[in-house]
Amino acid sequence: MFKAVKVLQASIVMVLAGCASAPNVATSQAQSPDTAIHDNPASAGPASETITTLAYVAPRAAEAPAIQAGGSINQAKGFTDANGRLLPDMQAYANEVSQTRNVPLNHVTRLLQAAHYNPKVARLMTPSSGRIKRSWVTYRKRYVEPVRINQGVSFWQEHQALLDDTAKRYGVPVSVIVAIIGVETLYGRYTGSFAVLDALATLGFRNPDPNRPERSQLFRDQLADLIELDWKKELDAMNVTGSFAGAMGLPQFMPGSLRRFAADGDRDSRINLHHSVADAVASVARFLRLHGWEPGLPVFAPVIVPANAAKWVDGGLTPNLTWPELNKAGFQARAGHENDAWTRHPVGVIDLLDEPRNLAEYRVATPNFFALTEYNRSYFYATSVAELANILADRMGYGRAF
């Protein structure tokens, strides 16, 4: 999962090219498990998806400080000189990574010397020259479609006991966990075949975006996370593969997310996001809980929106409205929905635009919608996950939840 900065309603997300059978794995040493308190059927999502309220889900590690050294230049060149020594900017970066991440300098240097510029990564990540019209209809067809639905049902059936246990432990419905893995990698079929080390170095040092200078910084910090994970023997940075943005495994976690949010679902004291379904499933659930998922809430509130709903859209990724103020403005709760817990939480009005057709759809989103946007900062992405989850739950006999 690559969280692009300041992208809300992108009409195209990254296509994670690669081979699911790639032999390299993303692994991490597991830490202490989360502790569940008690079953809480009253807060359940879809019927039969009983969940458990957790006392506390702790991140595995704190967010590391940004690496200040180094910069990005628009040149198709490597990272070492003719003698194999790191170029000055790369050496400055290596020095700071070593100091801030407590990794021996020779280890950092060895990994950076092994990195190669990847022109395909640079090409795939270079923004198009013209603005692409946003289309919710087109986007939805790409991800809420028969192959993902059928494969999702098969995945759910194959791993039902594991999925039920994870949903009960973390308070995230099975349908949502399955939908995310389906949208991200088609249940492990497309996890990416790019060398993560090369991808992150290329994007951090050789592919600047003049409109988003912070993007290169993001990739340099992710590269530091990768180096730290390698030093701790939590993955093999020389061999690990992923998307062209550096996301890894069934759930497409960036190194920073692997470091901070991944979970040891099979409790074998390691985290393997490529080949352990249990680790992938638990990691998705843990990520969502740590990013604001509220057990028992729908993703969208059951609301009829007024004709002037557009005025309430702020385009942000944080719910900052209350139900009383929206109700006063003409939004109406639909009849027949007994669970009104969402009315006591902040909400937001989101728009799903179809610019080629000059159409727009408006919905009232709960904190769970915005938790999904932490996985990918796109209204289209979060809505596709929610709609695929609903269809999968319906096909499995759980009924639609939102």
- Locus of tokens 């200040």: 68
CATH architecture for residues 63-126+192-247:
Orthogonal Bundle (1.10)
Q: How buried is residue 182: exposed, middle or buried, by Cβ count under 10 Å (0-12/13-18/19+)? A: buried
Per-residue pLDDT tens over the stretch 272-330: 999 999 999 999 999 999 999 999 999 999 999 999 999 999 999 999 999 999 999 99
218 token code pair: 């993001």
Residues of the chain with pLDDT > 70, as a percent, come to: 86
- Residue 184: active-site member: yes
Residues of the chain with pLDDT > 90, as a percent, come to: 78
Distances (CA, A) of 5 to 10, 216, 374: 11, 11, 11
Residue 4 confidence class, pLDDT cut points 50, 70, 90? very low
Per-residue pLDDT tens over the stretch 336-375: 887 899 999 999 999 999 999 999 999 999 999 999 999 9
Predicted pLDDT at 128: 76
Predicted pLDDT at 5: 38
- Active-site residue, selected from the candidate residues 96, 184, 374, 387: 184
Q: Regarding predicted confidence, which is higher, 73 or 337?
A: 73
**CATH class of this structure's domain 136-186+294-396:** mainly alpha
Rounded Cα distance between 61 and 143, Å, is: 32
Choice among 91-100, 115-124, 126-135, 257-266 with the minimum mean pLDDT: 126-135
Rounded Cα distance between 301 and 214, Å, is: 34
Q: What is the pTM of this model?
A: 0.88
Q: What are phi and psi of 271, to 5 degrees?
A: -115, 120
Rounded Cα distance between 380 and 231, Å, is: 37
Residue 37 confidence class, pLDDT cut points 50, 70, 90? very low
Choice among 125-129, 349-353, 382-386 with the minimum mean pLDDT: 125-129
Predicted pLDDT at 302: 95
Q: What is the mean pLDDT of the chain?
A: 88
Give the domain ranges of the chain.
Answer: 63-126+192-247, 136-186+294-396
- Closest Cα partner for 190 from 20, 2, 23? 20
Predicted pLDDT at 374: 97
H-helix or E-strand spanning residue 197:
helix 196-205
